[in-house]
Amino acid sequence: MPILRERKELELIVWPENRQCDRSWLLENIPGAAGVIVLLSEQVNDELLDKAGPSLKVVSTMSVGYEHLFLPALAKRGIRVGYTPDILTDAGFGRIAQATLARLVPFGIRQCIYTGNPAASAFSGSSARDHALAASLSLPAGAISRVPLTDLAVRSDVLFVLAPGGPETYHTVDADFLRRMKSSAVLVNPSRGSLVDSDALARALREGWIWGAGLDVVEGEPRVGTDHPLVNEPRCVILPHIGSATFETRLGMATLAAKNVIGGVLGETMPTELDL
């Protein structure tokens, strides 16, 4: 907020409550806005953009993910988009995956297999980058390697789902995938709920196809009721998408979101602009 408030040429309209912004408030206040900062819980679609009208120059999301932004609708209107990236989303095994592995190594993890977008590459094995990363984590040569998706299901003891959401990755972990996993395996999803078929996961846990699950994200969030199949599953631990909620991280994201919206409104460089 101080970053925004010091720009005296900007008029700020700020949701006054310490909870998720009401859609009706946003729709009421957005007409005529030049820029808007949103969280990933806000659908930026035709409804919102039509309400905003032609004055809207920039949408700045305080998130790495951007599947809540309807990019064709934004591109069609020539609206710039800022986000808070911390990953190479197309790499599969990108910066978040690498940072996760670095935190697991002290717990005794000695081998890491991962997969990537098959449309981008069908490579299997250890790349030069994998060798370098293994060396930097004091893991043996060949400890990190890329495998096809089905091998990942069959061989993993602990499987981390770390990929962007959206139609391309929808239900990557489905019933077929879960049935291939070890009955002792644990599934961890800190990325997007849409990657995992919730009903299939609840069944997998209930029927012992896998041993347990730890989820920071669930399909349908933020509205996940007490009747959700996974909420009622004793071998599933669910957090309300707070994996990035450290003070430092959120402050960094907020700072970037503020700088992006200012850049967009004033027609200047945005520190992290999404390429539409």
Count of other CB atoms within 10 angstroms of residue 129: 12
Question: Binding residue for ligand DGY (CB under 6 A) from 64, 79, 144, 224?
Answer: 64
What are the φ/ψ torsions at residue 115 (nearest 5 degrees)? -130, 170
Helices (H), the chain: 2-5, 23-29, 46-52, 71-76, 95-104, 128-136, 149-155, 175-180, 198-206, 247-265
- Select the span of 41-49, 60-68, 150-158, 196-204 touching ligand DGY (CB under 6 A): 60-68
Known catalytic residue: 228?
no
183 in helix, strand or coil? coil
Contact 214, 184 (CB under 8 A): no
Give CA–CA dist 29/14, Å, rounded: 9
Give CA–CA dist 156/211, Å, rounded: 12
- Select the span of 49-57, 58-66, 95-103, 193-201 touching ligand DGY (CB under 6 A): 58-66
Question: Binding residue for ligand DGY (CB under 6 A) from 26, 30, 40, 270?
Answer: 40
Give CA–CA dist 90/96, Å, rounded: 12
Does 194 interact with ligand DGY (rule: CB under 6 A)? no
Comparison of 30 and 256: residue with beta carbon closer to ligand DGY = 256
- Select the span of 61-69, 139-147, 205-213, 259-267 touching ligand DGY (CB under 6 A): 61-69
- Select the span of 63-71, 73-81, 200-208, 261-269 touching ligand DGY (CB under 6 A): 63-71
Task: Report the nearest approach of ligand DGY to the CB of residue 256 (Å).
Answer: 11
Question: Binding residue for ligand DGY (CB under 6 A) from 42, 57, 63, 133?
Answer: 63
Comparison of 49 and 62: residue with beta carbon closer to ligand DGY = 62
| Residue matched to tokens 């996974």 | 230
| Residue matched to tokens 């060798």 | 131
Give the x-and-dash track for 88-127 against ligand DGY (CB under 6 A): ----------------------------------------
Residues engaged in binding ligand DGY (CB under 6 A): 40, 63-65, 244
Catalytic residue annotation: 241
